[in-house]
Amino acid sequence: MKILEVQNLVMYYKTLKGYVKAVDNVSFEVEKGEAMGLVGESGCGKTTIGMSILRLLPSNAEIQSGEIFFGNENLLSLPEKEMRAIRWKGISMIFQAAMNALNPVHRIEDQIVEAIRTHENIPKEEARQRVDQLYRLVGLDPGRARDYPHEYSGGMKQRAVIAMALSCNPQIIIADEPTTALDVIVQDQIISEIKKLQQKLNMTMIYISHDISVIAESCERIAVMYAGILAEYANAVDLFRNPMHPYTQALMNSFPSIKGPKRRLIPVPGEPPNLLSPPSGCRFHPRCPLAMDICKRTVPTFTDYENRHWAACHALG
């Protein structure tokens, strides 16, 4: 059952130098209970998509066209009041550098209680009890809920932020780089925690990251973004076994791994494009080993090749 459907989303940022074409005609759908990963390098638009779903974009962001369907409603056409009702309750978010999202002068419990009571009209005591449950859920000691953020370690703060995101029992959680700035061991614990929670609560997850290893391990479906376009979208296993888009292939070849035979990494030539004036046609063509004439002229269509394996590339025919 589809729970989220993004259709032909086009989003630009207005700057002094012109429009930054951050998201250009992106379409994908997410099934209920699925863990979907959105992977790409910095500036590819993945965070923008996450923010677009929640309509938490900065003032210079302009949605040019497209729809985002949550259930049957188009989030982009909802009045702000109704959107506010959906935020946190329907869809919630774990922000990048989330540990900095905690207000240092308030107790953590108070912050979560406030988040809950902003969206649900329940008495304080009930909210506090929910915090208790949430803490147990994310593996934190409920006795420490009254502490201040600086008394927590990085990993603990991250768990607190996850608890906050779960506090109103959302249907979808968007996690935007939830483990950057965390050490390897803590990162691993948090990721497995998130995975456990997702399975236990049958939640839908959209996991945004630049780290393809983390995405590979946590997500069932993976969408690869490049410079504002969706290059490929497939089941995790299919994507790794048979990457179709040249960018995906290039990405796979440029990641070192701790397992498997040691092989020479092949860097992707060139630089990610300037989105003020992105390349014509397929945005990857200046760096693509398979680039043909048509790639410079026409934007390839995002096509389902088989078994929900989508890709946008002229070379695939």
Residues in contact with another protein by the rule CB under 8 A: 41-42, 153, 155-156, 183-189, 191-192, 210-214, 216-217, 219, 236-237, 239-240, 250-260, 262, 264-272, 286-287, 291
Helices (H), the chain: 46-54, 80-86, 108-119, 124-138, 154-166, 184-201, 212-218, 236-241, 246-253, 293-297
Query: The tokens 């147990």 sit on which residue?
Result: 136
Closest CB 225 distance from another protein, rounded Å: 12
Do 36 and 30 form a contact (C-beta atoms < 8 A)? Answer: yes
Would you say 124 or 308 has its CB closer to another protein?
Answer: 308
Closest CB 68 distance from another protein, rounded Å: 27
Would you say 57 or 216 has its CB closer to another protein?
Answer: 216
Closest CB 58 distance from another protein, rounded Å: 16
Query: The tokens 């979208």 sit on which residue?
Result: 233
Would you say 53 or 162 has its CB closer to another protein?
Answer: 162
Nearest 5 degrees, angle CA 105-CA 125-CA 168?
A: 75
Closest CB 256 distance from another protein, rounded Å: 4
DSSP letters spanning 91-136: EEEE-TTGGGGS-TTS-HHHHHHHHHHHHS---HHHHHHHHHHHHH
Q: Which of 265, 266, 270, 267 is nearest to 287 (CA)?
A: 270
Closest CB 187 distance from another protein, rounded Å: 7
Would you say 124 or 289 has its CB closer to another protein?
Answer: 289
Would you say 200 or 262 has its CB closer to another protein?
Answer: 262
